[in-house]
Amino acid sequence: MDFSNESRVLHRCSAQIGNLLLRSLWHLVHFIISICNFTLDIANVLESYLISSGLLGRYKSLHIAKLRYLAIVIESEGAYQTLKIIELLQWLEAVGVKHVCLYDNEGILKKSKDFILENLDGAILFQDAHENNVLLDQQHMTLEFVSFSDGKEAVAKAANVLFMKYSKSGVTDQNQKEKIFTESQMTEALKTVGSGGPEPDLLLVYGPARCHLGFPAWRIKYTEIVHMGLLKSMNYGSLIKAIYKFTMVRQNYGK
Amino acid sequence: MERIRERVIQIYGNLVSLLQKCIFCILSVGPIPNHIAFIMDGNRRFTKKCKLMEGAGHKIGFSALMSMLKYCYEFGVRYVTVYAFSIENFKRSPEEVQSLMDLMLEKIEEILKEQSIVNRYGVRVIFSGNLKLLSEPVRLAAERAMLATAKNSKAVLSICVAYTSTNEIMHAVQESCEEKWDEITLLNSSGAGYGLISLGGYEQDEMDHLIKLTDIEKHMYMAAAPDPDIIIRTSGETRLSNFLLWQSANCYLYLPSVLWPEIGFRQFLWAILNFQQIHFYLDKQRKQS
């Protein structure tokens, strides 16, 4: 009897030691990964300073016209740093970006909308500036404020708009049904419910991870998504690098 | 001599396998992703780069897919989704589309065989997308595969063919509308409708909320799987190309620069490690929304 008890205790001890060893190895591996990422960050910061100071020639002239609509996703904590956001928008204005969409999951930026517009010279709301969603060439920068409710919930509202059309005319007629449930009809319906902005060409994510945090799905089909790091450590050089890389991209759109 | 060489290769293979198992053992201390999705980009570029015959890149890409599936299922990832063919890909030359369809047909037959990965790991295969756009032989093969693997319950492989996210959303909205209409008609015919068929019986506020978000989500092609934890797109492109746009709100995008046929254990490892580093943040985001 004692023998089997002892072997059970021994088995339990060795399992615990094995477990402890595995956990230590896991922490060690992640510690090494953190060091690697830290080194990469330092290299990126150095490169950004070189770009900001104009020493790297190829970043001096950007084909900014290629960037028609820029979206910026900011994670919730960063969305409270309104002054940083204004600084970022001022950099974008200096570079020549005309139309910017600001997104955060919880709608914090929507609350700071007035403050941002007051402190950014000459900026106006996107909704006030355009007609029929055509991006007019103008002097002022336009800003659009979007949150999570403009994504999935807006699609549900748009679905109700389409349902109204369906119930009024499309139920018995197959042709009518095919005309109602098309992607362009959905785009129109989204505009009707107030969530129909244009599709951004480039989306910059200011947060801990490369993740679009719920930016309206309908609008990011072919949008380039770039991770910029945390808002509090934003710098001009990496912004220029991201825009430059975007202007060099060539898309096939599936072909 | 030949036998010694074979033996050496076998021992090497076993060592590599053992090393991979040890690494998985260590990694499973941390969070294991439940669902990984792959955008298999770069097959044509690989063909050009290695100066191969047309279509060879896709064939090698298929072997790369089998390896990645093996790593996923060995590590304990329950759901894997792959972007095999987009609706936009139909715009390619007819010869290319036909050769891709032929490859798909060949590979569907292959994965249903006894010793294949699907049976080894108990994988249920689902084809997500607008299957009506496929030619009949491919569609029938897909339906056969789904039927044959319906009883498997250890893991799920979703193959997105004739798929785009916008088409998926549109299809879900249409199905929701048709279902809601049938519901109202049924209520009306059973006498409980009070004339709802003309929708005059609803308040304006109610009419705006007839179709709910949950109705739309249950009609999505990808409704059988949870939202992905990681989306891996090879060849360094930084866009989703109309793939899982609805489901990727809190999903980590890993974008290695290797071409799809070149993807291997190293990239898989790196994706898992990065996922584990930010998992706490993404999980918090997911719980909030």
Shortest CB distance from A160 goes to which of B26, B211, B277?
Answer: B211
Cα A132 to chain center, whole Å? 25
Residues B52 and B126 grouped into a single domain: yes
Looking at the fold, whether B91 and B174 belong to one and the same domain comes out as no
Number of domains in chain A: 2
Please check whether residue A110 is in contact with residue A76, taking contact to mean a CB–CB distance below 8 angstroms: no
Q: Which of B93, B114, B115, B102 is nearest to B141 (CA)?
A: B102
Residues A102, A220, single domain; the answer is yes
DSSP state of B243: S
- How far CA B245 is from CA of A54, B87, B282, in Å, comes to 37, 15, 16
* Same domain as A188, residue A88: yes
Task: Give the Cα separation of B178 and A212 in Å (integer).
Answer: 31
Question: Residue B280: what pLDDT?
Answer: 87
Q: Say yes or no to pLDDT of B282 above 90.
A: no
Whether A234 is covered by a domain: the verdict is: yes
Which one of A159, A214, A225 has the shortest CB-CB distance to B249? A214
Q: Does the annotation count B41 as an active-site position?
A: yes
Mutate to test the interface with B, among A24, A223, A225 (most CBs of B within 10 A): A225
Same domain, A55 and A78: no
Tokens for B181, please give them.
Answer: 């209409």
DSSP code, position B135: -
**Separation between Cα atoms, residue A109 and residue B62, nearest integer Å:** 45
Partners of A204 in beta bridges: A72, A226
**DSSP state, A170?**
I
Q: Kindly state whether residues B154 and B172 are assigned to the same domain.
A: no
User: Which value does ipTM take for this structure?
Assistant: 0.90
Q: Are residues A23 and A41 in the same domain?
A: yes
Verify that A132 and A78 share a domain, yes or no.
yes
Nearest to B91 among A153, A226, A255 (CB): A255
Within 10 Å of residue A205's Cβ, how many Cβ atoms?
A: 23
Mean pLDDT of B124-134: 94
A18 and A142 assigned to the same domain: no
Residues B147, B279 within the same domain: yes
Strand-pairing partners, residue B155, are B123
Closest listed residue to residue A85, CA positions, set A98, A97, A72: A72
Q: Are residues A103 and A121 in the same domain?
A: yes
Distance CA B37, CA B275 (A): 13
Neighbours of B13 (CB within 10 A): 10
Residue of B41, B182, B215, B227 marked catalytic: B41
The pLDDT score that the predictor gives to residue B55 is 85
> Where does residue B215 fall: left (phi above 0), alpha (psi -120 to 50 degrees), or beta otherwise?
alpha
Average pLDDT value for chain B: 90
Same domain, yes or no, for B73 and B213? no
In a domain, A215, yes or no: yes
What pLDDT does A125 receive?
Answer: 82
Shared-domain flag, residues B265 and B284: yes
Residues from chain A contacting residue B279 (CB–CB below 8 Å): none
Residue A181: which of B86, B170, B249 has the nearest Cβ?
B170
Contact A254 B241 (CB under 8 A): yes
Position B24 confidence tier, pLDDT thresholds 50, 70, 90: very high
pLDDT for position A4: 84
Place of tokens 């002022």: A140
| Cβ proximity of B210 and A190 under 8 Å | no
Give burial (CB, 10 Å; 0-12/13-18/19+) of A87.
middle
Pair A80, A43 in one domain: no
A200 and A157 in a common domain: yes
Please state the separation of Cα A24 from the chain's center in Å.
35
pLDDT reported for residue A175: 80
| Neighboring chain B residues of A23 at a CB cutoff of 8 Å | 29
Instruction: Mark yes or no for CB contact B246/A223 under 8 Å.
Output: no
| Domain termination site, one of A17, A35, A60 | A60
* pLDDT at position A127: 75
The enclosing domain of B250 has a CATH number of: 3.40.1180.10
Cα–Cα dist A234/A255, whole Å: 36
For testing the chain A interface, which of B24, B48, B173, B253 should be mutated: the one with the most A CBs within 10 Å? Answer: B173
- Nearest C-alpha neighbor of B81 from the set B204, B256, B243, B250: B243
What is the model's pLDDT at position A177?
A: 79
Please state, in angstroms and rounded to a whole number, the distance separating the CA atoms of residues B8 and A96: 62
* Residue B204 resides in a domain: no
Q: pLDDT tens, position by position, for chain A (255 residues)?
A: 567 888 889 999 999 999 999 999 999 999 999 999 999 999 999 998 888 887 777 777 788 888 999 999 999 999 999 999 999 999 999 999 989 999 999 999 999 999 998 888 878 887 776 655 555 556 788 999 999 999 999 999 999 999 988 888 866 777 877 888 899 999 999 999 988 889 999 999 999 999 999 999 999 999 999 999 999 999 999 999 999 999 888 777 777
A151 and B249: CB-CB below 8 Å? yes
Check A37 against B250: CB less than 8 A apart.
Answer: no
Residues B130, B173, single domain; the answer is no
Identify whether residues A33 and A109 lie together within a single domain.
no
A2: closest CA of chain B, how far (Å) = 33
Token pair listed for B98: 């036909």
Residue B232 has a pLDDT of 97
Confirm whether B16 is domain-assigned.
no
Q: Do B170 and A183 touch (CB under 8 A)?
A: yes
Inter-chain CB proximity A217 and B245 less than 8 Å: yes
Contact criterion met (CB < 8 Å) for A208 and B278:
yes
Helices B165-189 and A183-192 cross at an angle (nearest 10°) of: 80
Q: Tell me which chain A residues have a C-beta less than 8 angstroms from the C-beta of B170.
A: 181-183, 186
State how many domains chain B has: 2
Distance from CA of B161 to the nearest CA of A (A): 13
Q: What is the pLDDT of residues B60-119, one digit of tens each?
A: 999 999 999 999 999 999 999 999 999 999 999 999 999 999 999 999 988 887 668 888
Query: A80: domain range?
Result: 64-169+182-248
What's the Cα-to-Cα distance from A129 to each of A22, A53, A134, B232, rounded to whole Å? 59, 35, 10, 38
A183·B166 Cβ contact <8 A: yes
CB contact under 8 A, A210 and B252: yes
**Residue B99 falls inside a structural domain:** yes
State residue B78's pLDDT score: 95
Q: Which residues touch B261 (CB under 8 Å, ≥6 apart)? A: B42, B43, B46, B57, B60, B61, B63, B64
State how far residue B118 is from chain A, nearest Cα, in angstroms.
29
CB within 8 Å of A215: residues ≥ 6 apart: A71, A73, A103, A146, A151, A203
d(CA B213, CA B79) in angstroms, rounded, equals 23
Contacts of A160 in chain B (CB under 8 A): 207-211
Which one of A45, A60, A75 terminates a domain? A60
- Candidate ranges A55-69, B47-61, B175-189, B243-257; pick with highest mean pLDDT: B243-257
Higher pLDDT, B91 or B197: B91
Are the C-beta atoms of B261 and B43 separated by less than 8 Å? yes
Smallest Cβ distance to A211: which of B26, B216, B251?
B251
Residue B260 C-alpha, separation from nearest chain A C-alpha, in angstroms: 16
Structural domain of B176: 165-190+209-220
- Per-residue pLDDT tens digits for B25-52: 999 999 999 999 999 999 999 999 999 8
Note whether B153 and B185 are same-domain residues. Answer: no
B185 plus B81 within the same structural domain: no
| pLDDT for position A135 | 55
The kind and range of the H/E element at A146 are strand A142-146
CA–CA separation, A101 and B134 (whole Å)? 38
